[in-house]
Amino acid sequence: MIGRELQRRQRYQTPLSLLFLDIDQFKAVNDTFGHETGDLVLQYVASFLKERVREADYLFRWGGDEFLVLMSCELDQAMQKGVDLKADFATAAETAKLPAGVGLSFGCTEVPHGTEDVMPLVKEADRLMYEHKTAKRARRKRRRT
């Protein structure tokens, strides 16, 4: 699918961006409540994302608690989608039933014209997501002190 979208980007000059999402506190959920609860959190997040990602875009479970969205849009739109998903997740009624601290962090990058391999871009989006997550932790820590 990704290869096909890269070809479409090349042929039709369509914009393409990657949105990389990670579940905050997922390891703590597994360690504290067990893998069964972790699995329920994963199922909820997957369902939440599936409901909010356009049908024209692609949603992948990338790794343990990571998701990748391949979006046919410019970077600013992908970033706004990340902000919206994070905010919607934080205020969703079902999210309140999850263990404390579960949230979403994200990073995104635009796929440049002529890209043949998205892996460096996925790594960049992942790096940006970790920067986002680190900044969020630092803000939380400052509020406690």
* Domains (range + CATH), the chain: 2-144 (3.30.70.270)
Tens-level pLDDT at each residue, the chain (145 residues): 888 888 888 888 889 999 999 999 999 999 999 999 999 999 999 999 999 999 999 999 998 999 999 999 999 999 999 999 999 999 999 999 999 999 999 999 999 988 889 999 999 999 999 998 888 777 777 777 6
Decide: helix, strand or coil at residue 19: strand
Could you tell me the two tokens for 74? 């410019």
Q: Which residues are catalytic?
A: 65
d(CA 71, CA 102): 24
Q: What is the pTM of this model?
A: 0.90
Shortest CA distance to 106 belongs to which of 134, 130, 75, 141?
130
